[in-house]
Amino acid sequence: MKHEMVFTFLLMMVRPEASTSRIPRRRTTFTVEQLYLLEMYFAQSQYVGCDERERLARILSLDEYQVKIWFQNRRIRMRREANK
């Protein structure tokens, strides 16, 4: 842990922009159960509000951001399939 802090400090000294750069997020692999529930909610409403997104995230043990992006991607996929 201590070495990691020293390395981070040295990196920030050499490259100040490194302190503000984002660490890439790993791709989320949803479980069958998570996908089932997300699809059920999507069938009821293609848009999920802030409160509902928070609740869904808690139930599914996901971040709100992951739920939000899943709904965005699902709407895009639905539009693409409709245009075929």
| CB neighbour list of residue 37: distance below 8 Å, 6 or more residues apart | 56, 59, 60
- For the record, the structure tokens of 74 come out as 């699902």
The Cα 46–Cα 38 span in angstroms is 10
Please state the pTM of the whole predicted model: 0.71
Pick the CATH number of 28-84 from 1.10.287.70, 2.130.10.30, 1.10.10.60, 1.20.140.10: 1.10.10.60
The domain spans of the chain are 28-84
What confidence tier does 13 reach under pLDDT thresholds 50, 70, 90?
low
HSE (CB half, 13 Å, CA atoms) of 1? Answer: 0
Residue 4: the pLDDT is 61
The Cα 50–Cα 71 span in angstroms is 12
